Amino acid sequence: MISARGLARTFAGRGKDKTPVQAVVGVDLDVADGEIVGFLGPNGAGKTTTLRMLTTLLKPTAGTATVAGYDVATQSHQVRRSIGYVSQSGSTSPEARAGEEVVDHGMLYGISQRQAEARGRELFDQLDLEGLWDRQPRAMSGGQRRRLDIAMGLVHDPRLVFLDEPTTGLDPQARANLWTHISALRTERGSTVFLTTHYLDEADALCDRILVIDHGAIVASDTPDALKRQVSGDLVVLAPTDPGRAAEVAALIDAVADGEVEVAGVQGGTHVSGRVRDAGHQVPGLLRALDAAGIALESIEVKRPTLDDVFLSLTGRSLREENS
Ligand SMILES: Nc1ncnc2c1ncn2[C@@H]1O[C@H](COP(=O)(O)OP(=O)(O)OP(=O)(O)O)[C@@H](O)[C@H]1O
Which band of pLDDT confidence, cut at 50, 70 and 90, is reported for residue 19? confident
Q: Is the pLDDT of residue 169 over 80?
A: no
Q: Burial-class residue 129 by CB neighbours within 10 Å (0-12, 13-18, 19+).
A: buried
Residue nearest to atom 11 of ligand 1 (CA): 23
Q: Is the Cβ atom of 43 under 6 angstroms away from ligand 1?
A: yes
Q: Is the Cβ atom of 196 under 6 angstroms away from ligand 1?
A: no
For residue 258, the CA-to-ligand 1 centroid distance in Å is 35
Q: Is the Cβ atom of 47 under 6 angstroms away from ligand 1?
A: yes
Rg for the chain, CA atoms, rounded:
24
For residue 280, the CA-to-ligand 1 centroid distance in Å is 43
For residue 170, the CA-to-ligand 1 centroid distance in Å is 24
To test the pocket of ligand 1, the residue of 47, 219, 311, 323 to mutate (highest count of ligand atoms within 8 Å of its CB) is: 47
* CATH placement of domain 232-304: 3.30.70.260
Which band of pLDDT confidence, cut at 50, 70 and 90, is reported for residue 171? confident
The total of other beta-carbon atoms located within 10 Å of residue 118's CB is: 14
* 160 sits in which H/E element: strand 160-164
Q: Is the Cβ atom of 51 under 6 angstroms away from ligand 1?
A: no
Which band of pLDDT confidence, cut at 50, 70 and 90, is reported for residue 170? confident
Q: How far apart are the first and last CA of the chain?
A: 35
Side by side, which strands form the sheet with 297-303? 258-266, 269-276, 234-240, 297-303
pLDDT of residue 105: 87
pLDDT of residue 324: 45
Per-residue pLDDT, averaged over 130-153, amounts to 90
Which band of pLDDT confidence, cut at 50, 70 and 90, is reported for residue 321? low
E-strand stretches of the chain? 2-11, 21-31, 36-40, 62-67, 70-71, 83-86, 160-164, 192-196, 209-214, 217-222, 234-240, 258-266, 269-276, 297-303
Name the nearest CA neighbour of 88 among 154, 178, 164: 164
- Of ligand 1's listed atoms, the one at least distance from the Cα of 9 is 12
| Range name among 114-128, 176-190, 275-289, 309-323 with the lowest pLDDT average | 309-323
pLDDT tens for 269-315 read 899 999 998 888 999 999 999 999 999 999 999 998 888 888 888 88
For residue 105, the CA-to-ligand 1 centroid distance in Å is 28
**What kind of fold does domain 2-228 have according to CATH?**
Rossmann fold (3.40.50)
For residue 127, the CA-to-ligand 1 centroid distance in Å is 32
**Domain limits, the chain:** 2-228, 232-304
For residue 17, the CA-to-ligand 1 centroid distance in Å is 18
pLDDT tens for 99-110 read 998 998 888 888
